[in-house]
Structure 1
């Protein structure tokens, strides 16, 4: 692939850090969190800061913003915004700079936006705090920046609350807030991680467009090497609080020097599907003409209906993985929740080991629950923070009559299976990393010896190396126990590496269904092709540090 070239003034430095070091001063030995970090970002340049969770990426961004938690202290170095050292500034002086000179957008806009204020008012508030503009001019400028970030029906969105907007629209509001005062530097901390590929591509293109129009320098923090290949001018690779490699993006991706960089790139899943597992004779899950319709009721006025799932049908045999992919709102999670009976389908059949569970009451469904387990995207929300890991793991077996001593022995064995020490049983969820918590969530599901495991975006929040470990773990468990997996994802690279079959959903309907090779290599539907073409870095072979040959899609429709 040809990397994007951007014209920027190499002599005009927007931000630089010099020997930046951060410690935990109140702990024994004062461990270093950042170790003499040197980063330079020029006006109009996009610098990507990459590395695994815990490498120090976000700590670097928070240090630059002056938002470090009280437990962390900058003990050495300088942070220069153009020619001004930020470290000696007071809190009040830093507040004046934020949004006006240096701005930040976060991964989850729903937690960054005020849920009880209309989004237009939140954009205007930024100008109210930092300018003397009259209200009419603030409103006009807010409308203008909302148009620049390509929001639809701007007047309606201006009056909307955050919960009334989609994830992509909320992220556009965050970008509008960040850029409305044309800051020197924009810091973007994993802003596209939770978005589907087409929305992700739109947000990346939007940031580039606004950068070209405003000349903003961008520090983009990510663990997605596909995003790096798409947008970076310069890459800094971090490990354990240190910069282990940096340079122009084409040099880092073509000729990585550090072993750690090579390992990171090797962990990026390929878009080329792995060989499919043979299809067995034992059908464990069969979904027939599944429909889910929301709305349509109302006392005074009939409400519009939303057809979240339309006539969805598929068959899954023991030991195989079926992937369901599509954009946000396509219906894939609705199908997963119907299968799990977390929501009731409107019509259709869900045959679990030959038994239709679609219409069963809660009591009648209970004996079947152990056959059907789920792993969610965020294990921190699905694990009880007040329970030890042992208590979380044995809860299910105890509910189904397993003696406590037997359940504890199985919990200890299962932790070993998922690659965690037995002493983890006595610890709590907050004492583990995100990847470790997801392993615990998988262990908890597998403790029930299910026939079907539903994984709903189970690896989307993990960095690439941990993601690769979790995918390998799922395959090992599948080999050992013969579990069938329904894998919900918006990441086509992940789908290529774990799925035997793939269903593509759009607006609640299945538009394509076939083997992973058929769907991802020779897609028959235009929507599937658009998803593949939107995948960041799709033309780059990360494992072999080279471009991939251009594929001409067969069966155009």
Structure 2
């Protein structure tokens, strides 16, 4: 970390934000902190604690008439941003302060090339010729270590990987060398190796430009790896602040201790006793190839063959959890889609309860679909916003011929099983928190009484305390119902605590497969060891508030 100047770049003093109109509700209550040049301040806390509202207030991006600053000051190099005009604020954005958003695919314009979007900032805030701007854009793309910057410059967002899009966002934010960089959960959806690369990149660019960084995250491992100081937020207030090592090793607030205790350990849990239960999911020689074989790409050329899954095989027994881990693009989600028969496999066998379902027609497959159900990553997109929770839950069994009344009673029972009141059945998805919506998604999968649950990054977007609750819920449901779980994740901490066995994938192939204690505790493959080394905060035992004994 760099030596910090005495004068703060950003100073937030007694900031209060409330909902607009009559019956205003406080969102932020007297938030105060400062950040100096070359320093990284992390804001942490549960969903709804006010972290993102703080960042949006700083950038002047609060939704008008819905949220408004009611008290306090936000000073950027001494200028109070709460008193500037909209035109002055637009001049400051990009030029003096910039923001990296959580999801670059929604923040980037899908119909503009990457180069054109970065160039737009230069055209707005700098007086440079077209050739000078292009040189500056290419240099910015090179600084964030993107390959073949000329190609990236002319590419559209959908043509880049998730990590490349996030790097492009960082290049756009830093092209004008702002004094303040706000990063709102920029690594949440990234695998551990890409996440480590992005964190290293931000640190290096910060050291190079002396930028002050406000970093918002719910990942305590990221906090340990990148922060100089940390502010813990709860219900719109700062409950604890201080140097990162001091807060993590000697937390004063009970809320901080609870957050740290909820962080899953990288040390695998004690293995559960082996079971003689029947195999409910058997995959042998699974292969999925996209393109080729007569397909056509643009300009009527034969489509290039892409092997997404190649020779994967495993056995999953009732009451057990198999974790599938690997980098983005390793084939994890394609594997899940093949198992669910959302895409047709190109080869190999998939047996559900002994029945080979890999080659069944859609009609012949229907009786078997209820045996294997999926929990998606984002329940807000997988739940119909126009249907009550009850209607969403009973839709599946009613489609399979179950009586509506019986299904409705079953839905109420399942809501209580996943920790929600039975009267929640008449509410709509937007009336629940993210963690509650994920519980609803679990109930919707369970109502079909499946043999197998496929969970595709089901807890990756949740904060640590809600994540811990959902993981305990899955463990409890598995104990009660004996359901098998295929758990797709990029979070090795989660995999270490919930999975009985681990399958590691790279470029569509299996590189390691075995009991969790062996694969994560004593990995044989270099690739698995590299994943473990990239895990943020790997040398810290958060629940014990101290470095790991083995570190």
Q: TM-score range by the shorter chain?
A: over 0.9
Counterpart for residue 85 of structure 1: 80
Number of the residue aligned with 1:47: 41
In structure 2, C-alpha distance between the alignment counterparts of 1:54 and 1:298, rounded to whole Å: 47
Alpha-carbon deviations, 1:332-385, whole Å to 9, x = none? 111100000000000110010000000000000000011000000000110000
Helix, strand or coil at the partner of 1:246: strand
For residues 485-528 of structure 1, the C-alpha deviation after alignment (integer angstroms, 9 at most, x for no partner) is: 00000000000010000000000000000100000010000000
Residue 197, structure 1, aligned to residue 186, structure 2: no
Distance 2:369 2:70 in 1: 54
Q: Which whole-Å CA distance do the structure 1 matches of 2:22 and 2:245 have between them?
A: 40
CA apart distance, 1:27? 4.8
Deviation at 1:305, TM superposition (A): 1.1
Q: 2:178 aligns with which of 154, 177, 183?
A: 183
How far does the alpha carbon of each residue in 1:230-287 deviate from its partner, in whole angstroms, 9 at most, with x for none? 0000000000000000000011000000000000000000011112332333110100
Note if contact 2:322-2:502 (Cα within 8 Å) is conserved in structure 1.
yes
Number of aligned residue pairs: give it.
545
Q: If the length of structure 2 is used for normalisation, what is the TM-score?
A: 0.98
CA distance in 2: counterparts of 1:27 and 1:201, whole angstroms: 46
Tell me which residue corresponds to 2:141: 146
1:391 corresponds to which residue? Answer: 391
Determine the structure 2 residue equivalent to 1:260. 255
Tell me what 1:104 maps to.
99
Separation in structure 1 between the aligned mates of residue 246 and residue 228 of structure 2, nearest angstrom? 10
| Residue of structure 2 equivalent to 1:534 | 534
Question: What does 1:20-31 align with in structure 2 at a 5 Å threshold?
Answer: 20-28=15-23, 30-31=24-25
Establish whether residue 489 from structure 1 lines up as the match of residue 489 from structure 2: yes
Residue matched to 1:350: 350
Q: Which residue of 1 aligns with 2:201?
A: 206
2:83 counterpart SS class: coil
RMSD: 0.9
Contact 1:324-1:505 at 8 Å conserved across structures: yes
The yes-or-no answer on 1:216 pairing with 2:187 is no
CA distance in 2, matches of 1:513, 1:27: 59
| Unaligned segments of structure 2, at least 5 residues | none
Secondary structure of the residue aligned to 1:47 is strand
Corresponding residue of 1:285: 281
Decide whether the 8 Å contact of 1:276 with 1:499 is kept in 2.
no
1:219 Cα deviation after fit: 0.2
Instruction: Provide the rounded CA distance (Å) in 2 between the counterparts of 1:98 and 1:73.
Output: 19
Contact kept in structure 2, 1:375 and 1:455, CA below 8 Å: yes
Report the Cα distance in structure 1 between the residues aligned to 2:319 and 2:270, rounded to whole angstroms.
Answer: 14
The more displaced of 504-513 and 268-277 is 268-277
The list of structure 1 runs, each at least 4 consecutive aligned residues, that deviate by more than 6 angstroms after superposition, is none
Question: Is 2:2–2:207's contact at 8 Å kept on the other side of the alignment?
Answer: no
Query: Is 1:275 the counterpart of 2:270 in the alignment?
Result: yes
Equivalent positions of 1:437-452 (< 5 A) are: 437-452=437-452
**What pairs up with 1:410-489 in 2 under 5 angstroms?**
410-489=410-489
Which stretch of structure 1 is more off in the superposition, 322-331 or 302-311?
302-311
Question: Secondary structure of the residue that 1:87 maps to in structure 2?
Answer: helix
Using the TM superposition, give the Cα deviation of residue 304 of structure 1 relative to its aligned residue in structure 2, in angstroms: 1.9
Contact 1:79 1:86 in 2 (8 A): yes
Show the counterpart of 1:230: 225
- Work out the CA distance in 1 between the residues paired with 2:309 and 2:57: 45
Shift of 1:10: 4.3
Residue matched to 1:525: 525
Mapped to 2, the partners of 1:353 and 1:404 lie a distance apart of 27
C-alpha deviation, 1:452, in angstroms = 0.2
2:455 and 2:332 mapped to 1: Cα distance? 11
- The whole-number CA distance in structure 2 between the counterparts of 1:298 and 1:514 is 37
TM-score (norm 1): 0.97
CA offsets, 1:101-154, max 9 Å, x none?
A: 010000100101100111011111100001111111000000111110000001
Cα deviations across residues 48-79 of structure 1 (Å, max 9, x unaligned)? 00000000000000000000012111000000
